[in-house]
Amino acid sequence: MKLFIDTANVDEIRTAMSWGVLDGVTTNPSLIAKEKRDYKETVKEICAIVPGPVSAEVLSTDYDGMLEEAREWSKVAKNVVVKIPLLPDGIKVVKQLTLEDIKTNVTLVFSVNQAVLAAKAGATYVSPFVGRIDDIGGNGMLLVEEILTTFMNYDLDTEVIVASVRNGRHIVDSLMMGAHIATIPFKILQGMFKHPLTDIGIERFLADYKAAMDG
């Protein structure tokens, strides 16, 4: 499974990149807004740090606006993936961008039916938002499982990005289901390293060694 980081913060991205396990980045307008920086400059910088796919989202919601923005994003860097919201016009745009060989990530996916429409239009990725489904009492990972099964049943090439990840369990479930990608906030990515027994183990090894050498 590929690990993406879900942030627009370049310090977090640089740190995650230094670990040598980062495959890509997803941003969205809310994450960009948190950085209080120019949108295009920020994405350009991220694309230079991470060689893998970097998702940048369109702000328009009409066909012409989304298509124009998507074409603009595709010129910013070779590794930009254009994030398009799941709307009828959005799916039409994805179809056109597929013909133009521009990579797309269909965002705000909350059902299998939506995911199928995106895949049929040729989306490179679909992003089901598991945390937001859990937030309203649903089962986000069940949706991921259903999308993966559907794509397998019909040999659809679209990759599934598990998005809106809220905890380590979402990552484990994604791995068990064979999801292609999980996009993970920095704190949760950092948390993947942590286990109390690792810390206790290191302390004990060093203490044992020191006691033997000193004694």
Which residues are catalytic, by number?
A: 83
**Binding residue for ligand E4P (CB under 6 A) from 52, 131, 168, 191?**
131
**Binding residue for ligand E4P (CB under 6 A) from 121, 133, 163, 171?**
163
**Binding residue for ligand E4P (CB under 6 A) from 129, 151, 182, 189?**
129
**Binding residue for ligand E4P (CB under 6 A) from 26, 104, 114, 158?**
26
What burial letters (b/e) apply to 135-158, b meaning 16+ CB within 10 Å?
A: eeeeebbebbbbbbebbeeeebeb
Nearer to ligand E4P, 53 or 122 (CB): 53
CB of 6 to ligand E4P, least distance (A): 5
Residues 6+ apart with CB under 8 A from 60: 66, 68, 69
Indicate whether 180 belongs to the interface with ligand E4P (CB under 6 A). no
Indicate whether 104 belongs to the interface with ligand E4P (CB under 6 A). no
Closest by CA to 13, choosing from 40, 39, 52, is 52
Q: Which stretch binds ligand E4P (CB under 6 A): 10-18, 84-92, 94-102, 127-135?
A: 127-135
CB of 91 to ligand E4P, least distance (A): 17
User: What's the alpha-carbon Rg for the chain, to the nearest Å?
Assistant: 19
Q: Looking at this protein, which amino acid is placed at residue 57?
A: E
Task: Give φ, ψ of 121 to 5 degrees.
Answer: -80, -5
Q: Both tokens of residue 145?
A: 């499982």
Nearer to ligand E4P, 104 or 164 (CB): 164
Helical H segments across 137-185, by residue range: 140-153, 168-177
User: What is the Cα–Cα distance from 188 to 211, expressed in whole angstroms?
Assistant: 36
Count of residues in contact with ligand E4P, rule CB under 6 A: 11
CB of 163 to ligand E4P, least distance (A): 4
Site residues (CB under 6 A) for ligand E4P?
6, 26, 28, 107, 127, 129, 131-132, 163-164, 183
